[in-house]
Amino acid sequence: MMFKEMRVSADASQLISLATFASAAAKEAGFDRKQTWRIELAVDEACSNIIEHAYSGQKGGWITLKIAIEPNEWMQIVLEDQGKGFDPTKIASVTPITSLDHARIGGMGVHMMRTIMDEVKFEFKIPYIGNRLTMIKKV
């Protein structure tokens, strides 16, 4: 098993670093090109939610990305933040969208995360940690 970790400021300019870090780990885990790219997208969406909602776009917060890999078996992605605890599952999802009139502006990112990953779990206000999102995908 392999572990990787990075910590960056909660700023949109850091999204590509987080996404690329996850993408490289996905390749090491043995995912094909399409799944690797999709995992990168899931991490991007999760981190965007943290930046925009948990920290409300304000500077000064941090995002910690922890990845565990069992090559050719599974990959676990953990994201931790100390923001206000945004629970996207409380937003009713209307995706996939079937009509321009019914298309909602929010909820697409969480829909993507759930589509891409096998497990998505949100935890809030964990003592000494903050908020934690755990996503798991089997190879």
Partner 1 sequence: MSSSLIINELTPEKSKDGTVTVPVLQVSGRLDTHTVGILEKSLSSTMAKGVKSLVLELSGLNYVSSSGLRALLMARREARERKGTIMLCALTPQVRDVFDMVGFTSLFDIRDTLENGRAALR
Q: Is 63 in the site for partner 1 (CB under 8 A)?
A: no
Whichever of 72 and 89 has its CB closer to partner 1, that residue is 89
Residue whose token pair is 């917060």: 61
Q: Which stretch binds partner 1 (CB under 8 A): 10-18, 62-70, 74-82, 125-133?
A: 10-18
Residue 127 C-beta: closest distance to partner 1, Å:
30
Q: Distance from CA of residue 34 to its chain's centroid?
A: 17
Closest residue by Cα to residue 79 from 90, 91, 68, 69: 68
Judged by CB, which is closer to partner 1: 1, or 100?
100
Dihedral angle at the C-alpha atoms of 55, 116, 89, 81, nearest 10 degrees? -30
Among residues 31, 38, 69, 82, which is the contact residue for partner 1, using CB under 8 A? 38
Binding to partner 1 by CB under 8 A, coded x per residue (else -) over 91-130, reads: ----xxxxxx--x-x--xx-xx--x---------------
Mapping DSSP to helix (H, G, I), strand (E, B) and coil, where does residue 132 land?
strand
Residue number, 44 or 81, with CB nearest to partner 1: 44
Of 62, 65, 88, 89, nearest to 77 (Cα)? 65
